[in-house]
Amino acid sequence: MSTWANLGLQDSASPLMEQLIFFHDHALLILVMITVLVGYLMFMLFFNNYVNRFLLHGQLIEMIWTILPAIILLFIALPSLRLLYLLDEINEPSVTLKSIGHQWYWSYEYSDFNNIEFDSYMIPTNELTIDGFRLLDVDNRVILPMNSQIRILVTAADVIHSWTVPALGVKVDGTPGRLNQTNFFINRPGLFYGQCSEICGANHSFMPIVIESVPVNYFIKWISSNNS
């Protein structure tokens, strides 16, 4: 999860988020190079006294500074497009989780397993235990198996919400009357925190998401203990 002074992206917990971080670093590097070059040119303009009274056109330089930025943009656009389609790919999911946004909590359904369903509310500050995270912990966590393809179906019951977990690279809008789908693969155990990221109303900041990623046999134990 994000903690103090952590201004960058969180550590990834899925291969897709890893790719998103690589793309972020790649785009940032290009941005820095452009900023340094343009900054240098603008700075140097203040100090030159050269005047060319006969300058009317410069075909060559205009060709260069038109085509070069277009090529640079391609180097951002093509990897971006690759990621976009990679994020949409569904790869034989072994678990399907349905998540429904409400004002102001999430409810979950495991339709593959005898329809386990529960609501997930934020724990209010005055009820927090010493090891709890304020505005981030919930009463019922989403338990998911690691090292498995997981499909998530997102919708909403009232207004638009957004199911967003940064460490997994997932951000899907829950829209009333629509069913959105995406998939992810958690590659390590742990707790992964997220928040609704669609401005959905007065208590928008109080509908967090907690994923508890566990080994597959633990997940099966949890599922069967809920079925009895």
The residue ranges that bind ligand CUA (CB under 6 A) are 101, 161, 196, 198, 200, 204, 207
- The least CB distance from residue 154 to ligand CUA, in Å, is 11
Q: Are 72 and 30 in contact (CB under 8 A)?
A: yes
- Cβ distance to ligand CUA smaller for residue 146 or 198: 198
The torsion region of residue 216 among left (phi > 0), alpha (psi -120 to 50) and beta comes to: alpha
Q: Are 97 and 110 in contact (CB under 8 A)?
A: yes
- Cβ distance to ligand CUA smaller for residue 99 or 213: 99
- Cβ distance to ligand CUA smaller for residue 19 or 180: 180
Beta bridge pairs of residue 153:
98, 181
- The least CB distance from residue 107 to ligand CUA, in Å, is 12
- Cβ distance to ligand CUA smaller for residue 138 or 214: 138
d(CA 81, CA 202): 35
- The least CB distance from residue 22 to ligand CUA, in Å, is 29
Q: Which of 113, 118, 84, 82 is nearest to 100 (CA)?
A: 118
- The least CB distance from residue 73 to ligand CUA, in Å, is 33
- Cβ distance to ligand CUA smaller for residue 16 or 196: 196
The torsion region of residue 202 among left (phi > 0), alpha (psi -120 to 50) and beta comes to: alpha
- The HSE-up count of residue 37 (CA atoms within 13 Å, CB side) is 8
- The least CB distance from residue 100 to ligand CUA, in Å, is 11
